[in-house]
Amino acid sequence: MERVTGIGGFFFRATDPAALGAWYQTHFGIIQVPESYGDSAWWQEAGTTVFAPFPADSDAFGRPQQSWMINLRVRDLDAMVAQLQRAGIAVEIDPEVYPNGRFASTHDPEGNPIQLWQPEDPDPVRPSPREEGDQNERAER
């Protein structure tokens, strides 16, 4: 079975796309969409990505009408939280440490939820192609 190799983009509506793009670049280092094909786009580090649909009535993202939340991996959650707080951005740190790491929550200027995640193991070993195939077969059953 052919599979995707990762997320190639994250697209969403914004009241002020230019300002919101600048906010993400300033506070998270996510480079805005290049103006030409010759310019570089944002490159993320390789790592685990969770793709998880939630029930329509879930309160996991806050507002009931909110249909998405982005989870951003960070190397040092405490440093990222301090950086955001210095910029006047409210951040809530989850006090629980989970087997897969630590989390914090914030919102962008338009109220979209952002979850920050510091993985327990920042350099997990990627499954071999055979192991990935076995995981996919189990998931398809």
pLDDT in tens, 70-96: 999 999 999 999 999 999 999 999 999
Tokens read off for 81? 């939280």
SS3 content of the chain, % helix, strand, coil (to 5): 25, 15, 60
DSSP 8-state symbol, 37: T
Q: Which has more pLDDT, 24 or 3?
A: 24
Q: Please provide residue 101's backbone torsions phi and psi, each rounded to the nearest 5 degrees.
A: 135, -160
- H-helix segments, the chain: 17-28, 77-86, 129-140
The pLDDT assigned to 138 comes to 47
The confidence band for 122, taking pLDDT boundaries of 50, 70 and 90, is: low
Q: Dihedral through CA 85, CA 90, CA 94, CA 100, nearest 10? A: -70
Give tens-digit pLDDT for 17-76.
999 999 999 999 999 988 888 888 899 888 888 889 988 888 877 766 677 889 999 999
Q: What are the beta bridge partners of residue 71?
A: 115
What pTM value is reported for the model? Answer: 0.78
Type of residue found at 102: R
For 67-141, CATH gives 3.10.180.10
Q: What residue spans define the domains of the chain?
A: 67-141
